[in-house]
Amino acid sequence: MPGEWYDPQGYARDWGGTPGPEPAPYDPVAGGAGWPAAPAPPYPGQYPLDGQPYGVQHPGGPHDVAPTAYAPSPVPVDTPSPQPYAPHPPLGDHPGAGTPPHGSAAAYGPSSGLVEAAADAYERYTGGDARPAAGDRHGREDDHETYDDHEDAYDDEDDEHGDEDAAPLSRAEARRAARARKPTVGVVVSRGLGELFITVGVLMLLFVTYQLWWTNVRAQAQANGAADRIQEDWAKGERAPGSFEPGQGFALMHIPTLDVVVPVAEGIDKDKVLDRGMVGHYAEGSLKTAMPQDKVGNFAVAGHRNTHGEPFRYINRLKPGDPIVVETQDTYFVYKMASILPQTPPSNVAVLDPVPPGSGFTEPGRYVTLTTCTPEFTSKYRLIVWGKMAEERPRSQGKPDALVD
């Protein structure tokens, strides 16, 4: 057609994919090897400068010249066959080098009509968009990014699985690895000692909890039950002063200063009396002492200072003149604290004598003696508190002043 030029090498690249020989640099006026010269107009000034037909050279000076777009035969939709892309030839050192002629085939590689037809066919065939994104003429940037993403994912997977794909160990290496994993004798011994120490520590903690807490709970409950039974027997007239069986409760001891009310039982048996939260009357063998109703004598009792109800824990805080009241079925016997012996060996039984040495008493009388262990939480020594009777008051006359709030 008039005014149209044809590039045989570009046609070969479009359809055959094999680039031809590289043409000479393009000259927009004279053309060049492989590049046809722009056709001259039929006569000067045939077309106006503005809006002149595409591909016509105006006599006023050189302008970009581009061929009329080539429209190849449509490619069948069901058999798209895109060809490899071949880059356009270098542009040479002419004004505007690096920018191909406006509208030329060199600006887009293969013929633009073929590219559009192939892109439309591929889009209909795959349901996607075959056109490259703006700013990415060849559509290769996203491909590189996708490849990099997959490569990163594979690297992460390799890091995650670690040595799963490592070569299997030989038998000798497997035996050496098994021996390395097997604990040594020292490790086994240290583990055993550690478990033993932990077990002993737990047992000691449980024992301390039992001694300091549970024995008090249980003993106080037993002592309260014994006090209730004593008062019930008094109401029935069954606990009159006299001879009592070992472990049998017969009185209540009040120490108002310490807020203590504790049953008094016959004997100092640990299991039957002391560990049940009661105080025991020395009433056996050479340690037998007087009863409160006796006209002369030393009424001596023993009680725990720690654990099992600990009724005598704070008797070291008593001051001279503090009341100690023994309540029986018929009578209140009121003693006044007289003196204290902070520490003495358990073998010093003279503290139970009718006139105990070191008590400050010089003649027979009606005395009371409280004994307990010291220091606290040990039984190495004994703590002794003495008192002297100040009042004997029948129950029918009411409570003594020491028990009246």
Q: Which of 20-34, 178-192, 204-218, 295-309 has the highest mean pLDDT?
A: 295-309
pLDDT for residue 298: 97
- The distance in angstroms from the start CA to the end CA of the chain is 135
Mean pLDDT of 314-339: 96
**pLDDT tens, position by position, 195-233:** 999 999 999 999 888 878 899 999 999 999 999 999 998
Stretch 185-189: mean pLDDT: 86
Identify whether 276 is a catalytic site residue: no
Residue 405 to residue 401: CA distance in whole angstroms: 8
Most confident among 79-93, 167-181, 290-304 (mean pLDDT): 290-304
Decide if 253 contacts 279 (C-beta within 8 A): yes
Q: What is the pLDDT of residue 209?
A: 85
Q: Is 304 considered catalytic here?
A: yes
Residue 386 and residue 359 in contact, taking contact as beta carbons nearer than 8 Å: yes
> Out of 254, 308, 373, 393, which one is annotated catalytic?
373
Answer whether 215's CB lies under 8 Å from 307's CB.
yes
Which has the closest alpha carbon to 110: 66, 70, 54, 68? 70
Nearest CA among 404, 360, 369, 362 for reference residue 389: 369
Q: Identify the residue with better confidence: 312 or 77.
A: 312
Percentage of residues in the chain with pLDDT exceeding 70?
A: 58
Q: Is pLDDT larger for residue 177 or for residue 342?
A: 342
For the chain, give every domain's residue range. Answer: 1-148, 216-403
373 assigned to active site? yes
d(CA 87, CA 106): 8
Determine the CATH number of domain 216-403.
2.40.260.10
Residues belonging to the chain: 405
Catalytic residue among 239, 276, 281, 304: 304
Residue 368 pairs in a beta bridge with: 299, 387
What's the one-letter identity of residue 31? G
- Supply the pLDDT for residue 176: 79
What number is the average pLDDT over the span 237-246? 76
The token pair at 63 is 């302008």
Which residue among 13, 276, 308, 382 is the active-site one? 382
Which three-class secondary structure state does DSSP give residue 264? strand
Distance CA 23, CA 122 (A): 32
The identity of residue 248, as a single letter, is Q
Exposure string of 152-173, with b = 16+ CB inside 10 Å and e = fewer, is eeeeeeeeeeeeeeeeeeeeee
- Give me the pLDDT at residue 138, please: 46
Structure tokens at 197: 């120490």
Does residue 7 register a pLDDT over 90? Answer: no
